[in-house]
Structure 1
Amino acid sequence: MTTFNRKTCMTIAAISDIHSNVFALDAVLGDIKKRGVDQIVNLGDILYGPIAPRATYELLMAHRDDIVTIRGNQDRQIYEALHLSTMAEIADNPTMDFIVKDLPKDAIEWMRALPFDCHLSEDVYLCHGTPTDDMVYLLEDIATGVPTVRSDSNIFSLLNGIDSPVIVCGHTHIPRTVTLSSGQMVINSGSVGYPAYEDDLPVVHKMQTYSPHASYALITCIETPQGKRWQTEHIKVAYNHKAAAKLALNNGREDWAFALNSGRVL
C-alpha cells in the first residue's frame, strides 16, 4: 500500500475509469484547472478502451507530477495479457489487440508499477474496487441485475477495517456519495470516459448514467471550530463525445459508441 504525507485538509479532484478516452480526460483536466484543487487522484482503469490509449497515456504523462494514480482491474488485465497470453490469443480479442499495439512499452511498465491502493493522507484512502479486490463493487449490489446501494453492514465488511474518514473508489462508473453510520464518507467519482456498460460477471448487469458527460468528483475539506468537515460535489463535464464515439466505432465497438453518445447500454 502506498502512503503519502499530505496535508490533512485539502481539496481533491477524483477521476477514475478514463478507459482511453482522451477527449473526456482533456476536458476534465481543463475543468479541474479552473477550480484550484490541491491534489488530483486517479483511481484506475485508465488505458483499456477502443478510443485512444496512447494519446491518453501521453496526456497523463504531461500531468504526471500533479496526479496520484492507482491501478484498476483493466490496467492489470492489459499487462497480465501480455505476460500470460500469446500474441495470437490477444488477437482473438480485437479491442485488447488494438490497445497493446497502440501503447508504447513504457505505458505497460507504468501500469505494472502502479500501486493497488493508497492512503493519500491520514483522512483519505483510495482504492479502485474495494480495499481487497479490484473486481468487486464497494457500494453497489448487482445480484438482481440492477445496481442498488449495499447495506451499511455490507459496506463495512468490504472495507475490511479501513477506518479513514473519506474513502474514494471507482470501478462502477456510477457517481455516488454514501455516508456510513460511522460517519465515514464513501465516494465513487464516476467515470471520466465511459458512461455506461454491460457486464456478465458475477451476473449480467447494466451500469448506466443516462448522459454522455464525463464525470469526476470534487472533495473538499472545511475547517470548523468543531473539526474537519468533508463535502462532495459530483461534476458533469460536457466534451466532444461524438469524436470519442467515432473512434470506438472505427475500432469495431458499436456498443461503446452507443454508450459514449447516450450514457445508456445498447
Structure 2
Amino acid sequence: MNNLEKKQITTIAAISDIHSNVYALEAVLADIRHRGVDQIVNLGDILYGPIAPNATYELLMAHQDDIITIRGNQDRQIYEATTAEITNNPTMDFIVKDLSKKAIEWMRSLPFDYHVNEDVYLCHGSPTDDMTYLLEDIETGQPIVRNDETILALLGGIDSAVILCGHTHIPRTVMLASGQTIVNSGSVGYPAYEDNLPIIHKMQTYSPHASYALIKCIETQQGKQWQTEHIKVAYNHEAAASLTLKNGREDWAFALKTGRVAPV
C-alpha cells in the first residue's frame, strides 16, 4: 500500500531496511504508536532476508493506511531475480517460496522515490540510484561521511528541505551548507552487514536494537525548523536470529545478536 494523499504533516516516523524482520518491525510500530506521529514512511529493502518475509508483508498490510512506502534495491532484486539467481542463492530461494504472489506484485508496484510534500522527499539510496550511499564514502572499507559538495551533487537537484533515506543501515543526520537536512533512519531489522560492492566494506551499529527516526517540523518566527530524533528499540532479536540459523545464515544471526559483522 501507498497512502499518497498529500496532507499537513508535523511529525514523521521514518523506517527503513526491515529485511523481513517481523519481530523488529512489530516492536518499532508499537513504539511509534505512542509518539503522536502524523505519518509513517517506509524507505525500502523490506522483505529480503532469511527471517519472515511473508509475515513481514502481512504486518505491513495491516497498517497499510498509515504508511507511505517506496522500494529499495533488494525489493527490486526479488522481483527481478532470474531462475538461475534464485537457484544459486538459497536465501533468495527461501524468500521467493515464502512470499505470496500478491506480496511480490506489491513490491513491483512501489515507487522509486516520493515527495511527501513540498518539504520532505523520500529515496532509498540516492535520488538517482537505489544502490548509491548518499551520505557515506566506503573507500576505506568503513563508512565516512562525504563532504557537502559531493552530497549535493548526488542529490541531483533535489532541493527539498528534508531528504529521508536508508540503504546504509547507519542512523545519521547531516545538515548541509544549503540548509537541507538529510536523515538516514538506520535499519529496523538488520543492524550490521558486509558487502563487496563496489568494494568490500562493513556497516555496523554495534547493538542489536531496531532503529528508526522521528522528524518533526517546528514552526518558528524564522520559519520552519526540523528536529530529528534517532530511536533505538529493544525487541526479541534472539527469536529473529533463531530463524536465520534455520535458514542457514549464521552471519545474519551474529549480526542480529550483536550489531556487528561476524569475524572471519
Deviation at 1:104, TM superposition (A): 0.2
So what's the TM-score if we normalise by structure 2? 0.97
CA deviation map 1:35-57 (0-9, x unaligned): 01000000000000000001000
The 1-side partners of 2:176 and 2:5 are apart by 25
Aligned-pair CA distance for 1:3? 6.7
Which whole-Å CA distance do the structure 1 matches of 2:86 and 2:184 have between them? 31
Report SS of the residue matched to 2:153: helix
Give the match for residue 222 of structure 1: 218
User: Which residue in 1 is equivalent to 2:42?
Assistant: 42
In 2, Cα distance between equivalents of 1:189 and 1:261? 20
CA–CA separation in structure 1 for the residues paired with 2:212 and 2:21: 14
Return the alpha-carbon distance in structure 2 between the equivalents of residues 96 and 39 of structure 1. Answer: 31
TM-score (structure 1 length as normaliser): 0.96
Asked if residue 23 in structure 1 is aligned to residue 23 in structure 2, the reply is: yes
Partner of residue 63, structure 2: 63
Residues 4 and 119, structure 1, Cα contact 8 Å, conserved in 2: no
Quick one: distance in 1 between partners of 2:171 and 2:86? Answer: 32
Number of aligned positions between the proteins: 260
Instruction: Report runs of 4+ in structure 1 exceeding 6 Å deviation.
Output: none
Give the drift of 1:10.
Answer: 1.0
Cα distance in 2, alignment partners of residues 5 and 220 from structure 1: 17
Amino acid at match of 1:75: D
The CA distance in 1 between the partners of 2:88 and 2:110, in whole Å, is 27
Match of 1:91 among 87, 90, 110: 87
* Identical-pair percentage: 78
| Aligned residue number for residue 75 of structure 2 | 75
Q: Does 2:245 correspond to 1:249? A: yes
Give 1:117's aligned amino acid: D
Aligned match of 1:138: 134
How far 1:224 moved relative to its partner? 1.1
1:6 aligns with 2:7: yes
User: 2:233 matched to which residue of 1?
Assistant: 237
Secondary structure at the residue paired with 2:206? coil
Find the aligned partners of 1:76 and 1:54 in 2 and give their Cα distance. Answer: 16
Alpha carbons 2:171, 2:211 under 8 Å: kept: yes
Unaligned 5+ runs, structure 1: none
Query: Aligned partners of 1:6, 1:151: CA distance in 2, in Å?
Result: 33
Query: Structure 2 CA distance, aligned partners of 1:181 and 1:261?
Result: 38
Report the 3-state secondary structure (helix = DSSP H, G, I; strand = E; otherwise coil) of the residue aligned with 1:155. Answer: helix
